[in-house]
Amino acid sequence: MHNLLTDIEGIKVGHAQNIDALTGCTVVLVEKGAVGGVDQRGGAPGTRETDLLRPMHMVDKINAIVLTGGSAFGLDAATGVMKFLEEHGIGFNSGIVRVPIVPAAVLFDLGIGDPAVRPDADMGYQACLNATSGEFSQGNVGAGTGATVGKIFGMKQAMKSGIGSASMEIGGGVIVSALVAVNAFGDVVDPTTRQIIAGARPMQAGPINIGGKDKFADTLNVMKSFAGRTIMGFASAASNTVIGVIATNANLNKEETNKLAQMTHNGLALSIRPAHTMFDGDTIFALATGKHKADINIVGAFAAETMAQAVINAVKSAEPAAGLPSSSIL
């Protein structure tokens, strides 16, 4: 166990990024296929191939998931992943060709780095070449390269975040693992202490300090103030979204896998304050590789805990960039 998504046998994770432009993508490869599900809750999503993951649709198993920066432009990274999988003969057998099933979700990182550079097919292909079934990096890599949090005052008062992972064994050989790129409008809080560990920093507006004198402004408190109600909808509206994957080696059907994705969103609510706003496109994919029998209620309960820890790991692994501090130095 590495406390990573790759603790699930059969899953590989690969990153590719442009450090200068501060954007990148992450691919989760499941070359033998896994039952897939999804739950999308934020108000500003950018996604691909999510409808087929829901119950009452023909395809049960998927071959990869792409998490990417670049907003809607970044969906092009999935084309490179499809090319890689097709070259390896992996995909849904249509009777004519094998069609790789590659759902994807994007986050908006165009407000940091170079907005003219976005993940593309070449970057998606490179992420596949970089994929490993062992240990992989967290923080300012892959889809977390341009991730930031705490943007109620805009990017200047935000903090650098990244991509993180976590895993736990929950009995009977069943493992639940999470991977998440944390690019939230709100603050990240430690679920055990309810203290903010990364988020919006106070802003000086003339002689007035908005958000208090502490190192964090506390987005929820700002939102209910006169200043917060005035600010909402301006600089913060288009710069967010948390995207992630929850995986298990449990034997779940398609309906249960979608329920797993749904229950996992509780992990975002535990660790991000506020979560699921109209400024966020929060999307969680789920994978079940089918190795062990398990109760979906138990798997889903621990999935939320695992996702919350992955969020914390994403923030703690992040390094300063583009003039923004990270939790490691603030």
Under DSSP, is residue 62 helix (H, G, I), strand (E, B) or coil?
strand
Residue 156 makes CB contacts below 8 A (sequence gap 6+) with none
Quickly tell me which residue has 């071959």 as its tokens: 63
Q: Contact, 38 vs 285, CB < 8 A?
A: yes
Task: Give yes or no for a cis peptide into 274 (omega within 30° of 0).
Answer: yes
Residue 94 makes CB contacts below 8 A (sequence gap 6+) with none
Task: Please state the rounded mean pLDDT for residues 68-94.
Answer: 97
Reported as a single tens digit per residue, the pLDDT across 157-196 is 999 999 999 999 999 999 999 999 999 999 999 999 999 9
Residue closest to 313 by CA, chosen among 326, 298, 301: 326
Model confidence, pTM: 0.94
Q: Which two tokens stand for residue 182?
A: 């944390």
User: Per the CATH hierarchy, to which homologous superfamily does domain 5-317 belong?
Assistant: L-amino peptidase D-ALA esterase/amidase (3.60.70.12)
CB atoms under 10 Å from CB of 78, counted, come to 26
What pLDDT is attached to residue 144? 98
Q: Which two tokens stand for residue 314?
A: 């994403």
User: What gap in Å lies between CA 168 and CA 309, rounded to an integer?
Assistant: 10
The CA-CA-CA angle for residues 67, 68, 71, to 5°, reads 130
Reported as a single tens digit per residue, the pLDDT across 292-302 is 999 999 999 99
Q: Is residue 178 within a helix (H) or strand (E), and if so which, with residue range? A: strand 175-181
Domain boundaries, the chain: 5-317
297 phi, psi to nearest 5 deg: -65, -40
Task: Please state the rounded mean pLDDT for residues 11-21.
Answer: 98
Q: How does residue 203 score in pLDDT terms, banded at 50, 70 and 90?
A: confident
What pLDDT is attached to residue 240? 85
